[in-house]
A = this chain, B = another copy of it.
């Protein structure tokens, strides 16, 4: 549970009591490589902490898929619409490796948030840090050319190339796979 506990504490430091309130609701689960954890259009009932493995979130349009997020050890998985508004999600989440996750039901989380001040603030911090990450990525998207975003992505995530395909990275960067190939060729 090392990676998960690390994540929980990094979000917002909890007392022993609050921490065990939260962890008592976690359930260890395993899934095979390729498993579809969340499906677009479905209202999900659980969120997950990644103890081991890597996942991607994507949306479908026409016959294309756009990957807009990668997450690995020590990160959380949720379908934002389900988590935040109990509405059908707009994203599909696929596990790209055999994975060890900790599952928590969204109703348990809600109940904890509404009854425990520390955990409510933990939930606040969780959303806030995700918010900053998302907005920074959005801004860098408009400012930074794909070449540079590619380098930065690999710097902050050196093992990504070994774990996910270039097609998925290309769509994450917002270019076609052909363009990413050209970028990589220039890069050498």
Residues of chain A at the chain B interface (Cβ within 8 Å): 59, 61, 66, 68, 80-81, 83-85, 90-91, 113-117, 120-121, 123-124, 127-132, 134-139, 141-143, 171, 174
Contact = CB atoms under 8 A, between A and B. Distances in A.
9 contacts: A66-B139, A66-B142, A68-B139, A84-B132, A117-B117, A120-B121, A127-B127, A134-B138, A142-B174
A114 B124 CA distance: 11
How many chain copies does the complex carry?
2
Contacts of A115: 117
Contacts of A116: 117
Interface residue SS majority, chain A: helix
Contacts of A138: 68, 134, 137-138, 141
Given A84-B131, A134-B134, A143 B113 contact: no
